[in-house]
Amino acid sequence: MFQTLKSKLLVFFLLVTFIPLIVIGMMGYYTQKSELTSNLEDSLMAHTAGMSAEIEGFIRERIYDVEYLARNPVLMDADAANQEMRQQFNHFIQIHDLYFGVVMADPSGTVIADTNDETLGADVTDRSWFIRSMEGESYLSELYYSPVINENVIALSAPVYNYQNELTGVITPLFDLDELTGTMQNFNREQKAGDSDTYAFLVNGDGELISHPDTSKTHSVNYFQRFDTSREELDEIFTSQGLTTHGPEIHVLRQVEVMPGFENEWYVGVAADEAGFYAPLNRLLYQYLAVFGIVLLIVTFAVFRLSRYIVRPVEHLVEVTENVAFDSGKQPRYVQAYEEVNRLNYTFDNMTRKLQERERSHRKSSLVLEATGNGVIAMNRLTGQITLFNRRSEEVFGVSRDQVIGAKGCAVSRESEAFKAFIGAADLVTLLGKEEIHRNYEIECEIEDQPRTFYLSVTSLPKLNDPAVHEEMLVVFHDLTEKRQMENELIRSEKLKVVGEMAAGVAHEIRNPLTTVRGFIQLIDGRESESVDNRKYYNLIIKEIDRVNQICNDLMNIANPNSAKKAKHTNLELLLDDMLLLHQSQLRSRDIRVNTYFHGRLPQVFVDSGRIQQVFLNLVQNAAEAMSGGGRLTISTAYRKPDDMIVITFADTGEGMDEKTLEKLGTPFYSTKKTGTGLGLTTSYRIIEELGGQVLVTSEKGTGTTITVHIPVHSSENNEDENNEDNEKASES
């Protein structure tokens, strides 16, 4: 940072200017800080003293109120009725709204009058306020829990004398403790100390909170335990009239004066947020910082202008260098200065021109490699390190270029199973040992458990400075997987077409003699002279002929599945539901449970419902036959809106199929069942493919099979059928 001339000049002038200024500023700041801190603390202590006087006045008023009530003529009359006393109590409460009840006990400690009669007859002889008032004193107690009224109270009591000056009872008005808290907080708001928000609280000699803005802390939090202090430390703080800090707050405590009728040790405290309390100190600091900031800006600006004037030619040269390095496209600008700089500018200009020409050529080559659909890999023949790995290679092998470039092929093979399979199938390790290579060949390998086919072109690359030495090997590959799959599908389709045509001919020729044979068998069976045993054989022959006839029908469907097509708008879920309802008893008899998860809002498709039902029936029957010992068949539907495709899944828990069976699935006359022909699935494949859909099968031996049927909602065939239907309706009109 401090190696440039500009930075050195800046640091020098800042040190010369700011060291004296900082010393003088710190002396002035700390002097004012000490005086301001003293004023703030004195203000808070004066505020606490005023709060203490306010509490003392509140206590005197309460003692005066109870003594005034004790001199009531009705209460002094020993013969006064309970109702008369209650009237006087209510009258007292109406005048003094901070009281909510009055209780009077006779000398024996039994409550003889109450504002609401809830405590009549209660025994209060063990109450401290009763004992003290029976001694002839007015009394204000500590905060305690009263089992008589089930609340936290501060008892206020006074003795009641009759006209003969005889003690006739003890009177205790009950006042709302919130009034004590409210009195403190009102005074606190009116007599604010400093800029900070403060709150007042009251602590007794045992450290218990008597009054606090947060009523949940009253009589439940001990001040000594909460802040890890003691009564002796509290007295010491009170004596020294100092402040104490507890966490983020500042506390000032002052003892409430002891007076006749009030002998409790109460401490009134005022708490202020430390950050807000010392906010004036922060403002003072900000003022000093503002002055320093203004001076810093002025000096920095002056130094910057001076350094810029001195180093301006060099800065322009640095700017030109950065533009060339980052290829910003800006034209170079030079400042004519002294001779050395001019010569440097001229030399630099010639050098950058040559570098830019070389960079453009290299960038174009890289762009071609990245844009091509072929994968390109380059490997060092000697070290096995990969030196080139384009974007298409990243997509195929699932590894990023940053992981591959500079790494050896064996290391990349450990990271990517796809790359390992590719290297092994292409035998690139063997080719690395050959000095000159030029080969074109095709390979097959499995990537992500899927067979892939690639066409490779492998060529050795000579060194740039020595063409005789072939240092690297270049591999260019093209993915032929989709092309080979299309070819296989085309071959399969052609085979299926030929098989269908052959099947149609065979079925036609077989059905004619079968019809004749069946007719004669029925004729012979109808004769009464035949024995019962012969009829049994006749029935067996007819059954087998019907089975051959059904095979012929399947062959006919393969040859011409469109022969009886009656397309209409069809709800596939209703079609499935009806089909399952018809075969419910059959499935239940095989101990097969059917679970359906329907989408509920599938769009209708324009298809021949009979043909689609034939597909669904074949799949359900195959699933049922695969679960010979019972099981679960799950049928679910879904709608893929992006490609407008309905997906129907049939998943069973049957015996499953191995890879060999999956490869031959859909081939005519191939079946794993003893009496199967394999024509059912062949017909189903053909029907779905003609709709523009697809049938996918996944299975695992011993686990079950899942067949997924994809049916497009709007296929070209559907549109054509819809047009034909519209034309027929128009003709009928």
Q: Look up residue 400 and give its amino acid.
A: S
Query: Quick one: how many helices (H) and strands (E) in the chain?
Result: 23, 22
Angle, helices 279-326 vs 339-371, to 10°: value is 80
The rounded distance, in Å, linking the Cα atoms of 618 and 626 is 12
The SS3 of residue 229 is coil
The rounded distance, in Å, linking the Cα atoms of 214 and 181 is 10
Partnered with residue 201 across adjacent β-strands are 269
Domains of the chain: 58-179 (3.30.450.20), 182-278 (3.30.450.20), 372-476 (3.30.450.20), 486-558 (1.10.287), 566-730 (3.30.565.10)
The rounded distance, in Å, linking the Cα atoms of 664 and 542 is 32
Residues contacting 17, CB < 8 A, separation 6+ = 295, 299
DSSP codes of every residue in 97-147: TTEEEEEEE-TTSBEEEESSSSSTT-B-TT-HHHHHHHTT--EEEEEEEET
At 28 the pLDDT is: 73
Mean pLDDT lowest among 235-244, 287-296, 571-580:
235-244
Higher pLDDT, 528 or 151: 151
Express each pLDDT in 304-337 by its tens digit. 777 766 677 777 777 777 676 666 556 556 556 6
The rounded distance, in Å, linking the Cα atoms of 38 and 53 is 23
184 contacts 55 by C-beta, under 8 angstroms: yes
Whole-number mean pLDDT of the chain? 78
At 95 the pLDDT is: 87
At 733 the pLDDT is: 32
Express each pLDDT in 172-191 by its tens digit. 998 877 777 788 778 777 76
At 670 the pLDDT is: 59
The SS3 of residue 677 is coil
Query: How would you classify residue 428: left for phi > 0, otherwise alpha for psi between -120 and 50, otherwise beta?
Result: alpha
The rounded distance, in Å, linking the Cα atoms of 725 and 713 is 17
Express each pLDDT in 168-177 by its tens digit. 899 999 887 7
The rounded distance, in Å, linking the Cα atoms of 269 and 200 is 6
Token pair, residue 391, equals 């974007």
Partnered with residue 169 across adjacent β-strands are 160
At 374 the pLDDT is: 85
Express each pLDDT in 462-515 by its tens digit. 877 777 777 788 899 888 888 877 877 777 777 666 666 666 656 655 665 666
Higher pLDDT, 730 or 570: 570
pLDDT exceeding 90 applies to what percent of the chain? 6
**What pTM, to 2 d.p., does this model score?**
0.39
617 contacts 681 by C-beta, under 8 angstroms: no
Whether residue 163 has pLDDT greater than 50: yes
Express each pLDDT in 90-113 by its tens digit. 888 888 888 888 889 999 989 888
At 637 the pLDDT is: 94
At 435 the pLDDT is: 73
**Among 598, 561, 593, 591, CA closest to 576:** 598
The rounded distance, in Å, linking the Cα atoms of 601 and 47 is 74
686 contacts 562 by C-beta, under 8 angstroms: no
